[in-house]
Amino acid sequence: MKFLRNENGIHGNDFAFLCRMWYIVGRTDFHEDLTKRATPGDLLKRDGVYMERKKCYMLLGAFCLIAILVMGVLGCVSGSPIGGLAAKNVKPVPLTPMEQAQKDYASVTITYQIGDASEVLDSDRILSWLKENEDGSVTFDEQQAKAFVKSLAEKYDTAYTTRTFHTTSGHDIQITQGDYGWRIDQEAETAHLLQLLAAKESATCEPIYAQTAAVHAKNDWGTSYVEVSLTDQYLWLYKDGKCILESYFVSGNPTRGHATPRGIYGLTYKTRNATLSGEGYNSKVKYWMPFNRNVGLHDAPWRNRFGGQIYRSNGSHGCINLPPANAAKIYENVEKNTPVIVY
């Protein structure tokens, strides 16, 4: 490209020419050399050349100054003096699948809310579950997830555990049997946890339960339940902490192998006008409330006496036989999973 041209035919054709002019003009002996070797007539002409070269020098200096300023501005943006010019052409190095996964889960947490308590699965533990497969893909170690859910179940499940119950008569007794209580569905919850992790977002949730209780507390049966004393052949119906019914009953005959099972159970369901049948009996009842398979609470209109020691000689096949009026009131005030505490 052409930078300049004068009337004497002196011109520059490229950047190398300008650099050469810069060098020549910069020499301290340049003017002196012209004077020694030139005639007075040539000196003016050469002075003209000198002046032209000095213009080249000035233009080149201006060009360099502008270039330095531009590189400085771009360097401020990119973080390095030459980064601004090179940034547009540099492609970022792609992350490996493991590096990407670590980045995705760096701040992810899963919080389980269990009653008033909470259990946090933090990002450090989540990251420790990441594993790289043979094909380079990254997944979660399912066994680690299972172990975490199992630890929740061991800590918070109450079903099949020993619990202390304070009876109406004022005694503290140990309830060791029965299936009532909280129980986490470990298989379903493990799958649920892996789904939450796949979303790559923090979340708060409750576990998936196989069965539930009234409250998350030491006394998980709450304040509404049926208390059954086999020794006294007497029961109490509590609703919202108040005793609304007391009644005698006849339980299963232990001498014939039909003793009513002890423990804490949840009412399976309730229904009207059922026929109870088994070996040696076929009884129609108006109020049927089973709590342990085929053992339940029901009216016994064929009896005219309840309580005392009747159960030892003329007891039921395991059910709690009640006066019809009392069975009706219990039926009206219980629902599925109402605790039935038998001792």
Average pLDDT over residues 289-315: 97
Model pLDDT, residue 75: 53
Same domain, 108 and 200: yes
Of residues 13 and 68, more confidently modeled: 68
Q: Is the pLDDT of residue 106 over 50?
A: yes
Contact (Cβ atoms closer than 8 angstroms) between residue 282 and residue 342: no
| 3 state DSSP class of 190 | helix
Summarize pLDDT for 263-295 with one digit per residue, the tens. 999 999 999 999 999 988 999 999 999 999 999
Which segment of 36-40, 71-75, 330-334 scores lowest on mean pLDDT? Answer: 36-40
Residue 85 lies in a domain: yes
Nearest CA-CA partner of 323 in 297, 289, 291: 297
CATH of the domain at 272: 2.40.440.10
Same domain, 205 and 243: no
Q: For residue 89, what is the DSSP state?
A: G
Distance (Å, rounded) from C-alpha 209 to C-alpha 220? 15
Nearest CA-CA partner of 298 in 290, 307, 308: 290
Distance (Å, rounded) from C-alpha 299 to C-alpha 287? 6
| 3 state DSSP class of 258 | coil
Same domain, 328 and 229: yes
Summarize pLDDT for 208-258 with one digit per residue, the tens. 999 999 999 989 999 999 999 999 999 999 999 999 999 999 999 999 999
Nearest CA-CA partner of 235 in 224, 226, 222: 226
Please name the residues in contact with 93: beta carbons below 8 A apart, sequence gap of 6 or more. Answer: none
- What number of other Cβ atoms are within 10 A of residue 167's Cβ? 14
- Split at pLDDT 50, 70, 90, the class of 71 is low
Q: How far is CA 231 from the centre of its chain?
A: 48
Residue 217 lies in a domain: no
Same domain, 110 and 82: no
Same domain, 102 and 147: yes
Torsion angle, CA of 287/289/293/295, rounded to 10 degrees? -70
Mean model confidence pLDDT for the chain:
85
Same domain, 22 and 65: yes
Distance (Å, rounded) from C-alpha 167 to C-alpha 229? 9
Distance (Å, rounded) from C-alpha 86 to C-alpha 99? 26
CATH of the domain at 131: 3.10.20.800
Residue 288 lies in a domain: yes
Same domain, 195 and 264: no
Number of structural domains (the chain) is: 3
Same domain, 65 and 143: no
Domain that holds residue 284: 225-342
Contact (Cβ atoms closer than 8 angstroms) between residue 151 and residue 140: no
8 φ/ψ angles, rounded to the nearest 5 degrees: -90, 5
Same domain, 229 and 338: yes
